[in-house]
A and B are shown apart, each in its own frame.
Chain A
């Protein structure tokens, strides 16, 4: 009886989540792999099975390669820029005030900075996109160009100039992300025992030495987590790029990314087979990146 009651309870608690999850998450994922092997247009009752044709088409698709190049740039620049800036700020905020008696403390006003820096993180990416579309206006009425004109420069077409557009987009991503990693790294720094810094400071280590010889090595695990998260973000960029530069990947496809292309191929062109093939490619790219990062940077854990 008790056994029966226990299994009844388990089943009762699991049934709704498992059904919801199977219907709306698992089944679409499995279907996506099947559809990627067909030429389904969203209407045909029995779409033709075309084997790997969609993937072959992908290889000849310039837009796909352009998107891959952009993901490559994002993958290099976004994590690097965000982590360097965030590490610098979190070091200043947590340890920049020098050591005082019981331990290290942050620079003056550090609480305020932490609150301000984190705020963009709670804004919706779509809202941030609209905001920066106004700020980046290519004519002299945008904020950035207004400042440039004041300083005596010519206005710049931030989102319309092919050589700058992607960098302007990356700048917004970094703008939004830094605060989150400041908080993340701050938590990591708080976990480093105070006497490490104290001992080093006693031995005459300056702030540079404290950062590079003590903080950074001991923060390795946290930085690695950050790197993986930012890398995965580098394969997304949908909301921001869709809002900032439109779904055509303007200018000249220099801000093409796979998610926008998938969305467009599926819902504008009704090429669900081809869109799913792109999705499968995106999946393998993301997984490969995550596995490679975790593999190559794995090291023995340092226990405090």
Chain B
């Protein structure tokens, strides 16, 4: 055993191992440095920003953060995004899991048809629907409203959510649901009190997937809530601040706004990184 172990872990050429480390470190720096630079640039004044790009700020100036929060409305945009994403993810999960459950575990005429009806939505690029979608939302009177945006987010998240969760519900054991039925639990009760708790891992993964997707959405808000600046979500806000920064020559507040957007995401990511990675990975491999 001892000889075998020595053979297996015999030192490989250390040059190779060294190069591997260098490659990994370089890629890590390529990710960390731009973000760090943005964060530091938010403390610079305009003179420093138009000075040496690699210079540290001379002082910790928080003014740009204040300007970004008040004048550039980053606070407003973040709040809008939180509200929209909260309701749209909630709606996606409630309606998505209801549809997926029924389609996965009940036999009725038209079941397959409705299932493929949902799944087909994954094959179409959203750009195809863009023009008509604008007029549909206008017709139901929800154009330029957060309600309209929430409903559209839910609708476009359903295909993948239903597809993923149907597979998950199908895999749950029949015996527990059967026992509940014999005990006289209604269908609705069986779903909420027995099946949902059992499907928790799948529900968590797909919730994370939807929160991230909807938080990062840029195209749909650009089409559906473009008119009033106070309705904008954060991605729209940042893109517009970026254009304005050139005009107003207020670069520090652009970097402050960027930092304000990135930091909360970073904190949430560091706390939940394991779940986030497995959630997105599981989503892709299904």
Contact = CB atoms under 8 A, between A and B. Distances in A.
A123 B265 contact: yes
B141 interface: no
Contact of B188 (A9, A88, A183): A9
Contact of A116 (B28, B216, B238, B284): B28
Contacts of B38: 131, 134
Interface stretch (B64-72, B91-99, B172-180, B197-205): B91-99
A175 B31 contact: yes
Interface string A214-239: 00000000100100010000011011
B83 interface: no
Contacts of A258: 127
A21 B246 CA distance: 41
Interface string B1-41: 00011011100100011001101100110111111011001
Chain B interface residue bracket vs A = 35 or more
B130 A262 contact: yes
A13 B101 contact: yes
A17 interface: yes
Contact of B24 (A92, A101, A130, A242): A92
Main secondary structure of the interface of B (DSSP, over half): helix
Contact of B127 (A31, A127, A131, A259): A259
Given A25-B129, A130-B254, A235-B125, A145 B20 contact: no
Contacts of B34: 131-132, 135, 143
B136 interface: yes
Contacts of A158: none
Interface residues of A, number: 105
Interface string B82-108: 000000000000011011011100101
B8 A32 contact: no
A282 B54 contact: no
B38 to A, nearest CB: 6
B131 A17 contact: no
A141 to B, nearest CB: 5
A140 B7 contact: no
B83 to A, nearest CB: 17
Given A21-B121, A184-B281, A279-B130, A207 B12 contact: yes
A180 B33 CA distance: 19
B262 A5 contact: no
A238 B217 CA distance: 11
A81 B156 CA distance: 30
A245 to B, nearest CB: 12
A28 interface: yes
Interface in A7-35: 7, 9-10, 12-14, 16-18, 20-21, 23-29, 31-32, 35
Nearest to B154: A20
A13 to B, nearest CB: 4
B8 A13 contact: no
A29 B128 CA distance: 6
A288 to B, nearest CB: 12
A79 interface: no
A274 to B, nearest CB: 10
Contacts of B8: 98-101, 198, 201-202
A239 B132 contact: no
B136 A243 contact: no
Interface string B232-268: 0011101101100000000100110010011001100
A101 B5 contact: yes
A7 to B, nearest CB: 7
A275 B129 CA distance: 10
A283 interface: yes
Nearest to A258: B127
B284 to A, nearest CB: 6
A6 B265 CA distance: 43
A8 B80 CA distance: 37
A7 B108 contact: yes
Interface stretch (A50-58, A107-115, A296-304): A107-115
Shortest 6 CB-CB contacts between residues of A and residues of B:
A146-B53, A279-B128, A24-B155, A28-B129, A124-B216, A31-B132
Interface of B: 4-5, 7-9, 12, 16-17, 20-21, 23-24, 27-28, 30-35, 37-38, 41, 49-54, 95-96, 98-99, 101-103, 106, 108, 114, 117-118, 121, 123-125, 127-137, 140, 151-152, 154-156, 158-159, 162, 186-188, 191, 212, 215-219, 222-223, 234-236, 238-239, 241-242, 251, 254-255, 258, 261-262, 265-266, 269-270, 273, 276-277, 280-281, 284-285
9 contacts: A21-B155, A24-B156, A99-B9, A131-B258, A147-B53, A187-B285, A222-B285, A239-B218, A276-B132
